[in-house]
């Protein structure tokens, strides 16, 4: 469909909570699913990274996440139902602030419940980097950015300053 502009850090809309998707909205949201895909792939081509994008990042305030790690997947109304007790420190990156890294704490494992594009209820268990990624994207749906969850006021780094670039 179309590559959309990604809302950048400083845009107050990023702090807006997204609305739940209703079943009767699916058909009209199909172009949004495509736009999320196109926008993620374009970002990945330009920056060399990017695994997921939340609808609010393109100005659509619906609870939708598009993730493309091994295969593309649209998660509608995702909710984290189970979490590990243990949290780990990770350097979060974000397409809304591509040159900034933020050290945050994320649950090591989680179970996510969501609807697919056919409105079937699905679930997935994630751990490590994918669990952290999903928590990051669901935070976007709540209007929460990684910058608000920094471990300390020194938990920020430029991407170019990170030894591994991530």
pTM summary value: 0.94
How many CB atoms neighbour CB 155 within 10 A?
18
In angstroms, the CA 144 to CA 142 distance is 5
Q: pLDDT tens digit string along 99-126?
A: 999 999 999 999 999 999 999 999 999 9
137 is catalytic: yes
Rounded to an integer, the average pLDDT of 57-71 is 97
**Catalytic residue chosen out of the listed positions 17, 137, 161, 164:** 137
In angstroms, the CA 2 to CA 19 distance is 22
Rounded to an integer, the average pLDDT of 142-154 is 96
For the four alpha carbons of 129, 108, 123 and 14, in that order, the dihedral sign comes to negative
The answer to whether domain 12-161 has CATH 1.25.40.10 is no
Residues 6+ apart with CB under 8 A from 161: none
Domain parsing of the chain, residue ranges: 12-161
- In 46-140, the DSSP E strands lie at 52-54, 64-68, 72-83, 87-92, 100-107, 109-115, 121-127
Q: pLDDT grade, residue 63 (50/70/90)?
A: very high
Contact present, 131 and 106 (Cβ < 8 Å): yes
């Amino acid at each position: 469909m179309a590559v959309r502009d990604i809302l950048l850090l400083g845009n107050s809309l990023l702090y807006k909570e997204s609305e739940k998707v209703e079943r009767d909205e699916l058909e009209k949201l199909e172009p949004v699913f495509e736009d999320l895909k196109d926008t993620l792939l374009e970002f990945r081509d330009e920056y060399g990274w990017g695994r997921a994008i939340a609808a609010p990042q393109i100005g659509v305030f619906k609870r939708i996440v598009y993730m493309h790690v091994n295969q593309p997947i649209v998660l509608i109304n995702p909710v984290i139902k189970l979490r590990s007790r243990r949290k780990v420190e990770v350097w979060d990156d974000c397409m809304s602030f591509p040159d900034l890294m933020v050290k945050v704490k994320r649950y090591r494992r989680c179970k996510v419940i969501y609807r697919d594009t056919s409105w079937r209820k699905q679930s997935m268990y994630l751990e490590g980097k994918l669990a952290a990624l999903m928590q990051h994207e669901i935070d976007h749906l709540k209007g929460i950015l990684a910058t608000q969850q920094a471990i300390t006021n020194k938990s920020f780094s430029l991407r170019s300053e990170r030894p591994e670039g991530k």
